[in-house]
Amino acid sequence: MPESSRTVMDRLSLSGRTALVTGGSRGIGNGIARGLAEAGADVGVVYRKAADQADRFVGELHAMGRSGSFAHQADVTKKSDLKGMVDAALGNWGKIDILVNNAGTGVAVAAEEMSEEDWDFINDVNLKSVFFASQVVGRQMIRQRSGSIINVGSISALVANNPQKQCHYNAAKAGVHMLTKCLAVEWVDHNIRVNAIAPGYVETDLTRPFMQEHPEQAEQLWKMGTLQARFAAPSEMAGAAVFLASDASSFVTGEIMVVDGGYTLR
Ligand code: NDP
């Protein structure tokens, strides 16, 4: 179909596309993976520990017709595991159209008490892994001469949000945002677009413990600090991901799309 006759809904479709999603078995990654599949993509659900959830989810994807979907175990901090992830995708699909670098974690540690191990752990999971996953998948996308990479950053890269003592996490996420722009510039001639989503407060296993242990702070600082006065569900990150993965965003690269219910407006 000539480009000029494709409607915007045609261009949003991910039918026939293939997507690797790290941390795809639960939380935000699961919301994004589900959205990509609903838009038509087969999904490689990359998990580290949550094997049962990953397998159950792949069963759901098969039931909805995304029969090329599969689960794959990988620790994103290990380069050999990232290579294994790419080999699994190429074995299943022969190509990789979309990579979502979502896997991440956070730990609260006061700056004056932070050890080198604390710093390295958070930066390895949240930033270094994003670079090396992008590198190993990017090499394949360069061979294909096409691809869309979506990194999950954070509003914590944009504001030093109280009361979380997590300067290592915030710095890592700021690194993810800048890395997104740098790779967008480096790989534009290979027809690879690189963008990021910066979520606000999303209710997941990552944020729930703080909400339960500090309900008043979570209510006042997180929920009421959000213009829409609520937390997001993981599924609310899917729209941005589908848009950025699809041809509907063909002129969008190096963008940090803030999806935060207005948290960073004030
Ligand atoms: P969850 O804790 O719910 O899920 C984290 C996911 O990351 C899990 O699927 C986990 O896999 C995976 N993961 C963690 N470490 C590794 C690793 N070393 N190798 C492979 N996979 C790993 O977190 P969220 O869904 O809340 O967060 C997802 C992303 O969104 C993160 O990058 C986070 O920083 C970011 N974010 C979250 C916000 C929020 O409010 N929740 C706000 C802004 C950004 P497994 O279960 O298999 O171990």
Given a cut of 90, is residue 4 above it in pLDDT?
A: no
Indicate which atom in ligand 1 lies nearest the CA of residue 156: 43
The per-residue DSSP string of 105-163 comes to ------GGG--HHHHHHHHIIIIIHHHHHHHHHHHHHHHHT-EEEEEE--GGGTS--TT
Residue minimizing CA distance to atom 22 of ligand 1:
103
What spatial distance separates the first Cα and last Cα of the chain, rounded to whole Å? Answer: 45
Residues with CB under 6 A from ligand 1: 22-23, 25-29, 47-50, 75-77, 102-106, 125, 152, 154, 199, 201-202, 204-207
Task: State the pLDDT at residue 81.
Answer: 98
C-alpha count within 13 angstroms, C-beta hemisphere, residue 169: 18
For a mutational test of ligand 1's pocket, the pick from 57, 77, 105, 197, i.e. the residue with the most ligand atoms closer than 8 A to its C-beta, is 105
Give the residue numbers marked as catalytic.
Answer: 169
Q: What strands lie across the sheet with 98-101, from one edge to the other? A: 70-73, 42-47, 18-22, 98-101, 147-152, 192-199, 256-259
Expressed in angstroms and rounded, the spacing between residue 23 Cα and the centre of ligand 1 is 6
Give the number of residues written for the chain. Answer: 266
Provide CB contacts within 8 A for 147, sequence distance 6+.
96, 97, 98, 99, 137, 138, 140, 141, 190, 191, 192, 193
Closest ligand 1 atom number to CA of residue 125: 18
Per-residue confidence (pLDDT) for residue 2, from 0 to 100: 72
- What pTM value is reported for the model? 0.98
pLDDT (mean) for 15-33: 98
Ligand 1 centre and the CA of 130: distance in Å?
A: 12
Q: How far is the CA of 90 from the centre of ligand 1 (A)?
A: 24
CATH of 3-206+233-258, one of 3.40.50.720, 3.40.50.150, 3.30.565.40, 3.40.50.300: 3.40.50.720
The sign of the dihedral angle between the CA atoms of 46, 47, 51, 55 is negative
Distance 9 CA to ligand 1 centre (A): 30
Give tens-digit pLDDT for 60-118: 999 999 999 999 999 999 999 999 999 999 999 999 999 999 999 999 999 999 999 99
Among 173, 206, 226, 231, the mutation site with the greatest number of ligand 1 atoms within 8 A of its Cβ is 206
Distance from Cα 13 to the centre of ligand 1, integer Å: 26
Name which of 27-41, 157-171, 179-193 the model is least confident about: 157-171
Q: Where are the domains of the chain?
A: 3-206+233-258
Residue 172 is predicted with a pLDDT of 98
pLDDT of residue 1: 67
